[in-house]
Amino acid sequence: MANELDAQTVQVAPHGWVRVDLGLFAEATPPSSEELDAWFDPKDPRWGAVAVAVGGRSAAWFLQIRGVRAVLRHYRRGGWAAKLLRSGYVWTGLSKTRAFEEFDLLGLMHRAGLPVPQPIAARVQKRGLLYQAGLLTVRIPDAQPLARVTDPELWAQAGREIARMHAFGVWHADLNVHNIMVDVDNRIWLIDFDRSRYSPVNDGLRAENLSRLLRSVRKVVPQQEHLSWPALNRAYQHAWLGFNEHME
C-alpha cells in the first residue's frame, strides 16, 4: 500500500526501523537515522512535546518536528491484554506491524483526498518475539472531537465523510465520537486507524461501524442520540446511496 516514491523505510537500530514520508521535508536536509529515531522520544527537548490531555488508551503528545506541528502516539493495549503486555505486540513481520500498516493506510487515504491526518513517520522496535511502535502524523489545527459538538449539521457532515470512507473501501476498527474531529473551519476529520482495514466494505461491516459509533454516542453524549444522531444517520444513508449508484 505504501507509495515508495513518498515513503522510505530506514533502519535506525539493529532491531529498529522508521518508515517516513520524506516528501514533507523535500526542501531540507534529509534527517539522519539518529534524528528519525529521536522523533519518537517525547522527552527530547528539541520537540517541545506536550501530553495530549484527552484521548483513549494511547500515550500521545503534541510536538513540532522540523517546523511541522505533529502528534506522536505510542501504541498501547487496552482491555485484559493490557494487564499482561501494556505496549508489546507479537512480531509477525515488519510489514504487518500496526504502526506500518496504519502509516500506509493513512498515506493511501490522504493521497486520495480523504479527511485524515497526513502521516509523517512510523517507528517499530523489535524486542525478542515482541515489538513496540509509534506513529507521527500532522496535527489537525484547533480541532475538537465530535463529542463536544452540538450542531446537527456538523454531525450530518460527519455522516457524509463516514460514507465516503466506506465507499473508498476502509472499515474503521474503532469508530467513536472521539475519533471524529471538527476543526476551526468546521471541517470533519477521521482519525486513529489502528487495526482498520482497506478492502471492500460490505453491508455488515458498514452496520457494525455505525452500531459502534451509536454505542459511543449513548455512552459519552447520550443527549445527542435524539438531537444530532438522526442527522448523522440520514446524511450517511443518503451519501452512501449516492456513492453506491456512482460505483454501479
**Residue 30, CB half-sphere, CA atoms under 13 Å: how many?**
10
Angle value at C-alpha 220, between 214 and 226, nearest 5 degrees: 55
| Cβ partners under 8 Å of residue 134, min gap 6 | 40, 72, 73, 74, 75, 99, 122, 123
**Which position has the grid cell 506500518?**
100
| Cell reading at 97 | 506491524
Task: Say which of 6, 41, 174, 183 is annotated catalytic.
Answer: 174
CA-to-CA dists, residue 120 to 18, 69, 70, 136, 139, angstroms: 10, 10, 8, 5, 10
Nearest to 163 by CA among 107, 217, 106, 241: 241
Alpha carbon separation from 99 to 137, 143, 244 (Å, rounded): 11, 23, 31
Check if 142 is active-site: no
| CA-angle at 14, arms to 117 and 131, nearest 5° | 55
Q: Do 159 and 206 contact (CB within 8 A), yes or no?
A: no
Residue with C-alpha cell 482498520?
Answer: 196
Could you list the active site residues?
174
